[in-house]
Amino acid sequence: MTTLHTLIIGAGLSGLTCGIALAKTGRRVTIVSAAPSTLQLNGGSMELLGCIDGQEVTSPIEAIARLPHDHPYQKIGTENIASLALEAQRLLDDAGATLTGDPQHNHWRITPLGVTKPAWLSLRGMATTASPDRLPWQHLTVLNLKGFVDFPIHIMAHNLAQLGCQVTVRDIEVDSLSQPRRSAAEMRAVNLARTIGVGSKLRHLAEAINQACAGDEVVLLPAIVGLEDDYPVNLLRRWVTVPLHFLATMPPSVPGTRMAALLRHYFKMLGGKFLTGESVGCVKLADHHITAAYTVKSPGIPITAQHYVLATGSLLSQGLVATRDAIIEPLMGLDVDAAAGRDNWSHYGLMGDQPFMHCGVLTDTALHPLKDGTTIDNLHAIGSILAGHNPLTMGDGHGVDLLTALSVAHQLV
Amino acid sequence: MPIVSNNEHATYDVIVIGGGVTGAGVARDCALRGLNVLLLERHDYNHGASGRNHGLMHSGGRYAVTDPDSARECIQENEVLRRIACHCIEPTDGLFVTLPDDDLDYQATFVEACRQVGISAEVIDPQQALQLEPTLNPDLRGAVRVPDASIDPFALTLANVLDARLHGAETLIEHKVTDLIVAGGRVLGVRALDHRTGLTHDYHASVTINAAGIWGAQIVRHAGIDIQMFPAKGTMLVYGQRMGQMVLNRCRRPSNADILVPDGAVSLMGTTSDRIDIAQVDDMRVTAAEVDLLMREGEQMVPRLAQTRLLRAFAGVRPLIASDDDPSGRSISRGIVCMDHASRDGMEGLITITGGKLITYRKMAELATDLACRKLGVDAACTTTTQPLPGSQERNVITGGFKPSGKSNSSKRHGDRRRAIPATDALDRMNICECENVSIGEVRYAIEQLQAHDLANLMRRTRLGMGACQGKSCACRTANLLAQLTGDAQQAQCDLARLLDERWRGAKPVAWGNALRDAQLTAAIYQGLCGLDKAIGRKEVQP
């Protein structure tokens, strides 16, 4: 096997972005793809920086300068953030994920519970607003499909009404769902997208919406169409006679699945290769230099590359693993920034600023991870495996994924 | 200063304080004997020790050597419950196993003691035991088969409450007794605060029965009476897999961490026993040391537990009565204590029923009701040894059992009462909890007929969110349904946040591996994607 330019471990948002950026320059890149990415939890938007010290941020670029020195944005240089952000938006757009937004000014996405959260980019068609406490409509209709339980419409309507709107809740009966409705598992958003998001069923859905909502000012529908691309989204919006926007559902997310599919497709188009359903079982290290990687399924076949990129994610994606005694990076035993003693990894009160969310691998400013205090010179770490940030309290997860990926890609070409 | 309402309340024959299994059993027995009864529960049914235990229907074997009176109570009630509460019971049987570190001589002592009190105890070959329970430690040296079983304490208490209500009892949850009304050496009733309205009411009765478990000492203090309770904290672990078909016990003197009980699709390992300060009773936290001890001992009995996922840990407090200086409470009798405060303390109209076990609740209720009847001059015989509970009244009720096929388990939870669950509409038949097969109709039934009004008490009525996913997907669906049915979306989303915190409280002591990963996933969904913290206006960080 000839040597790759780069082997990327992990096919989440950061791994795919890094792979695309490298493949665009003609480099030979392979991505090892073990499991579905956390884009499944996406609400149709990307966050760059949403919150700092508990306060929502209106201008991410301006606020980034105030981040602590160990934040990943500080490592890639706060002066580079604006241009990297624009580059990320272009890359997503080239992949077919049409997102609108501006790194200088956050807008607000609407969550499945009907509250607003700061966002940098949102997929075209998603319901958004320019202000955290006001919606751009007076009367809005939230419409659900009977039996779709992963859309908390009554709580959502309550919270949307707090933003000064009159909210009408409606549901429509769609014949093709009488069968799947027998089990909640069949009624998940991505299954619905497969069932009703295609062909004549999409046409029927449009007719049902038109019948139920004729004359309404605006209709908000759960994001249940457009699993692979946004054709069904655009068609539905054209066929429906009233203004139609989409709202994020509980996971698994259709917009998130679509973005992952588009990025994977784009990477392949650029000549990139996937090892799907594989994971790297071990790497051979010599003098803080990786000489080969081996997958779990083919432990006898070395994969060699000039560069390796670790994009395996946080605890959630098992890029980090908590044993009873320590939080470790399971593949190479890299240095992890985590408190000693499992009592110190978390607090009571789940939705606080949990220490385990900040855990990650330690790196130098070029994002080379450390092992026993020394960097591994042909390895970079990107995305949510990095220490020093908390996507849940800071709203910086997607930005860290995208921008560290691009920053490393620039270093490697 | 709480507002005391002026409206006159009806006077009752009996007021029962406490909605655990004992209080529910007392209310039922009183109602069946024609008494006019009111039950007051400060939070929800089974909020205390009745909902925080192994779910083990003891054969009595565990106490046969050290506490034969209690063992005899257990086996008698074990036989009664199989008749009257079959829908709450999975007749698993149990094994008492001797491991390499245990003294095999104890087995003979154990078997003899069981015979003395009437517990069937059959010595079986270790190889046969391994065939019955392949996950047992292969080095075991002995095994004895006894009639232990797995019991659903939530279904049991609810069936008692339901029958009490069907026979005219009033039962109120979220009503905390704040004082006893005392005059002339007699308790005339209670003063209770309604948590939901913030109003305080007086309720009068000829007899007040204190069935408040570990909180009972605080109740009688309002009448100037002192009971020395011994709060013995017992911690348990919930493993996310059913490890075997039978209850597994260590064949040794009762000690820490020697019982593993199969409960539906999961297994419960326990317990510890440590005296705690009474002030801690309302805020119990499981320590790392307790978890480590339970895991170490559990893995000796069933080595595969080492590779089995832990879902959570929880602790309950046994309402024992202090008798000596035993620091753990292990040597205190699990026997029933029924106090007539007239003869004990010169205070008429007040009874305390405490001690005992989950499975001796019926006997406890009988004793307390007998005493109340004597005080009231009512001559009515107890019928609860033969009269089946609602849910177990049809001959062919399916006894509880693990159904891996994923078929609805509502028949286990509600027995023959499942017919009352709405199921004609296709939406009602839809499951919203995939782990425990809870349908929308079952949630409606719990709200409309079982006094459920929030997510936490829906969980106690239906097992919603108790399964492998620990509520990640179903909590939000149910909160939305609650918002729809009650019209109070604000309350529903606060409930949702409280429920997630409560689940996390259970998971935190075992938060490594998949439990920590799961916590991150739950937080990513509810805090990250949904902004639930923003929805309920919570910004501060809890320590």
Give the pLDDT of chain A (413 residues) as one tens digit per residue.
579 999 999 999 999 999 999 999 999 999 999 888 899 999 999 999 999 988 999 999 999 999 999 999 999 999 999 999 999 999 999 999 999 999 999 999 999 999 999 999 999 999 999 999 999 999 999 999 999 999 999 999 999 999 999 999 999 988 777 777 777 778 899 999 998 888 899 999 999 999 999 999 999 999 999 999 999 999 999 999 999 999 999 999 999 999 999 999 999 999 999 999 999 999 999 999 999 999 999 999 999 999 999 999 999 999 999 999 999 999 999 999 999 999 999 999 999 999 999 999 999 999 999 999 999 999 999 999 999 999 999 999 999 999 999 999 999 99
- Residue in A253, A356, A393 nearest the CB of B520: A356
Domain A4-102+258-412, CATH class in plain words: alpha beta
ipTM score for this prediction: 0.98
CA distance A178 to A175: 6
Which pTM value belongs to this model? 0.94
Specify whether the CB–CB gap between B294 and B270 falls below 8 A.
yes
CA distance A73 to A64: 7
Contact state of A178 with B426 under an 8 Å Cβ cutoff: yes
CA distances to A70, A71, A328 from A360, in Å: 11, 11, 9
CA distance B471 to B475: 5
CA distance B88 to B159: 9
Q: Which residues of A touch B529 (CB under 8 A)?
A: 41-43, 111-112, 248, 250-251, 253
Contact state of A351 with B539 under an 8 Å Cβ cutoff: no
The CATH fold assigned to B86-148+231-315 is D-Amino Acid Oxidase; Chain A, domain 2 (3.30.9)
Residue B98 parent element (H or E): strand B94-98
Give the HSE-up count for residue B268: Cα atoms under 13 Å, Cβ half-sphere.
24
pLDDT of residue B395: 64
pLDDT below 50 — which residues of chain B? 1-7, 400-408, 539-543
CA distance B53 to B342: 32
Q: Which of B447, B225, B437, B241 is nearest to B341 (CA)?
A: B225
Domain residue limits, chain A: 4-102+258-412, 127-247
Scanning every residue of chain A, which has its alpha carbon at the shortest distance from the alpha carbon of B542?
Answer: A349
Q: Which residues of B touch A133 (CB under 8 A)?
A: none
CA distance A11 to chain B (A): 18
Scanning every residue of chain A, which has its alpha carbon at the shortest distance from the alpha carbon of B505?
Answer: A348
pLDDT of residue B7: 46
- Give the type of residue at B100: P
pLDDT of residue A185: 74
CA distance A411 to chain B (A): 31
pLDDT of residue B412: 73
- Residue in A41, A115, A348 nearest the CB of B508: A348
pLDDT of residue B426: 84
The string of pLDDT tens digits covering residues B301-340 is: 999 999 999 999 999 999 888 765 566 667 677 789 999 9
The string of pLDDT tens digits covering residues B340-359 is: 999 999 999 999 999 999 99
pLDDT of residue B323: 63
3-state SS string for B245-282: CCEEEECCCCCCCCEEEEECCEEEEECCCEECCHHHCC
The CATH fold assigned to A127-247 is Rossmann fold (3.40.50)
CA distances to A220, B218, B422 from A100, in Å: 18, 62, 47
The string of pLDDT tens digits covering residues B44-78 is: 999 999 999 999 999 999 999 999 999 999 999 99
CA distance B433 to chain A (A): 8
Q: Mutate one of B480, B522, B536 to test the A interface: name it (highest A CB count within 10 A).
A: B480
Backbone angles phi, psi at B334, to 5 degrees: -90, 15
3-state secondary structure of B87: helix
For A62, other C-beta atoms within 10 Å of its C-beta total: 12
The string of pLDDT tens digits covering residues B79-130 is: 999 999 999 999 999 999 999 999 999 999 999 999 999 999 999 999 999 9
CA B146 to chain centre: 22
Q: Is B497 on the interface with A (CB under 8 A)?
A: yes
3-state SS string for chain A: CCCEEEEEECCCHHHHHHHHHHHHCCCCEEEEECCCCHHHHCCCEECCCCEECCEECCCHHHHHCCCCCCCHHHHHCHHHHHHHHHHHHHHHHHHCCCEEEECCECEEEECCCCCEEEECEEECCECEECECCECCCCEEEEEEECCCCCCCHHHHHHHHHCCCCEEEEEEECCHHHCCHHHCHHHHCHHHHHHHHCCHHHHHHHHHHHHHHHCCCCCEEEECCCCCCCCHHHHHHHHHCCCCEEEECCCCCCHHHHHHHHHHHHHHHHCCCEEEECCCEEEEEECCCCEEEEEECCCCCCCECEEEEEECCCCHHHCCCEECCCCEECCCCCCCECCCCCHHHHCCCCCCCCCHHHHCCECECCCCCEEECCEECCCEEECHHHECCCCHHHHCCHHHHHHHHHHHHHHHHC
Domain residue limits, chain B: 86-148+231-315, 410-535
pLDDT of residue B325: 56
The token pair that represents A56 in the structure block: 């929502």
